[in-house]
Amino acid sequence: MLAGYQEEKENFMEINLKTNQSLMKAIKKMHTLVESPDVEKQRASQENISGIFSKSKDMKYKNFEIDGIPAEWVSVDRRHMKKYVILYCHGGGYNTGSFRYARSITNKLASTTSMDVLSFDYRLAPECPFPAALEDAVKVWDHLMHFGYGARDVIVAGDSAGGNLALNLVQVLKGQGRILPRGIILFSPWTDLTKSGKSHEQKAEIDPILSEEYIDKAIQDYAQGRELNNPYISPLFADFTGFPPTYIQVGENEILLSDSLNLQKRLRKYHVQVQLDFYSGMWHVFQMSPFKTAYDAMDQMAEFIFDICR
């Protein structure tokens, strides 16, 4: 009986591996549709893809501006929690992305937590390199404070470069001696622009989303010759003393895997409450995809938020 069970288990694992490999090939093929050496074309392609995958009759969007920064509130079209809000920083390597592109995640955030989500379009590189995006994030934070929310009512979240921005925003608030947000949520955060992590080599052949060429271009556009170990460019090197509880999700098959694993170690060094969930077979910001693992991951994220909001 035991031998039969073991054989069945091995067959299932083989089928699951083949399915995952096929899925990653499909993801890579879809991602190539939006890749372009022309940054304007890539931004436009992202917007078009977002329009296809982010439509939902169950969501409400309220567009407005914060001191010239395009922004939107994303909320579920039903009774929901008003006390806490999520401030979301979109990804895109700091040179692409928008709050519309981020709806594939902000929709899930709002739906899963029943909280309103504020997402915004920070200025992009290379036209507006560091520290433009960070300056915009601080303005959006100030808007929330003036709008009547307390710092402890806000969870700051972001994916990829948006995870970088979320960490840097909290660094700025800490440096200004201000009250910090209740928590931080990070999906595949880009924390180390020096590329010191081992996963840059170990995952280079299997990552269906990111390539070293893409990352190098993003670094060049955003940092433009500045020191890459500056903690406001690579937050992995920050002093995390006093940081709020932090939750990280990362996929097994991504070049930036080390960015998350090393961040977890660094946060623990500073005695920050941190939880990292590692998703076998997954890729960079897999939460954007409309399939079960992505929704399960969002449920795990919501549990963390509910726990710190008690």
Cα–Cα distance between 82 and 185 in angstroms, integer?
Answer: 19
In this prediction, residue 57 carries a pLDDT of 75
SS3 assignment for the chain:
CHHHHHHHHHHHHHHHHHHHHHHHHHHHHHHHCCCCCCHHHHHHHHHHHHHHHCCCCCEEEEEEEECCEEEEEEEECCCCCCCCEEEEECCCCCCCCCCCCCHHHHHHHHHHHCCEEEEECCCCCCCCCCCHHHHHHHHHHHHHHHHCCCHHHEEEEEECHHHHHHHHHHHHHHHCCCCCCCEEEEECCCCCCCCCCCHHHHCCCCCCCCCHHHHHHHHHHHHCCCCCCCCCCCHHHCCCCCCCCEEEEEECCCCCHHHHHHHHHHHHHCCCCEEEEEECCCCCCHHHCCCHHHHHHHHHHHHHHHHHCC
Mean pLDDT computed over 160-172? 98
In this prediction, residue 19 carries a pLDDT of 44
Most trustworthy range by pLDDT among 38-52, 66-80, 166-180:
166-180
With bands split at pLDDT 50, 70 and 90, how would you rate the model's confidence at 40?
confident
Q: What angle do CA 268, 244, 181 make, to 5 degrees?
A: 160
What is the pTM assigned to this prediction? 0.88
| 274 pLDDT higher than 70 | yes
| 119 pLDDT higher than 90 | yes
With bands split at pLDDT 50, 70 and 90, how would you rate the model's confidence at 200?
very high
Percent over 70 (pLDDT), the chain: 83
